[in-house]
Amino acid sequence: MISWKLKYYHELSSDLLYLILKTRQEVFVIEQKCNYLDADNLDQYARHLIGFKDDKIVAYMRIVDQHKLYNHISFGRILVVKEYRGIGLGIDLMKQAINLISVPGGSIVMSAQSYLIDFYIKFGFYTIGEDYLEDNIPHIKMIRNG
C-alpha cells in the first residue's frame, strides 16, 4: 500500500529532502541521461507530493506555487521509480495531486514530456503551442483548467 504525504518545503526534514533530490536525480539525471541543474530554486516555493512504500519514495511530484514559475500552479518533476512503473502508480499520483490542489476556476500548468501527452489528457490537460526541447528531451506545455 502506498502512503501519500503532501509537504511544504519548510516541513521537509533534511533527510527527506536528501531522499527526494536523490530520487529525482536517479530518474531524471541517471536514467534519462539528462545533465541539468535539478536544484533550481523552486523547491522552496513548492509543495512536495510523495508516495512512500516501506519508507522508500516510489512516486513524487513537485507542485510549484503560482507566480513562481508560471502565473498558475504548476506540476513538475513528476516521477514513478522504475521498479514501480506499469502498475497504475502514475495514475494514482495524478489523482492525488489534482484532488489536493485543484480549486474551482484555477488552472494547473506543466511542461510535459511529449511522449506522455495522452496520459495527461486523461486528467483534463490539453496542449498549448508546439513541442520544444527542455534538457534535450521533447516537451510541450500543457494546462488544465479548474
pLDDT per residue as tens digits for the range 88-119? 999 999 999 999 987 778 899 999 999 999 99
pLDDT of residue 99: 92
pLDDT of residue 35: 85
- CATH number reported for the structural domain that contains residue 108 in this entry: 3.40.630.30
DSSP H or E segment with residue 87: none
Domain count, the chain: 1
Lowest mean pLDDT among 62-76, 100-114, 120-134: 100-114
DSSP H or E segment with residue 8: strand 3-8
Predicted confidence (pLDDT) at residue 85 exceeds the cutoff of 90: yes
CA distances for 44 relative to 9, 17, 30, angstroms: 5, 11, 24
pLDDT of residue 103: 75
Mean pLDDT score, 57-85 = 96
Mean pLDDT score, 123-129 = 96
> What is the span of the domain harbouring residue 23?
3-145
Cα–Cα nearest to 36, from 138, 106, 131, 137: 137
pLDDT of residue 27: 95
Taking the model in full, what pTM does it have?
Answer: 0.94
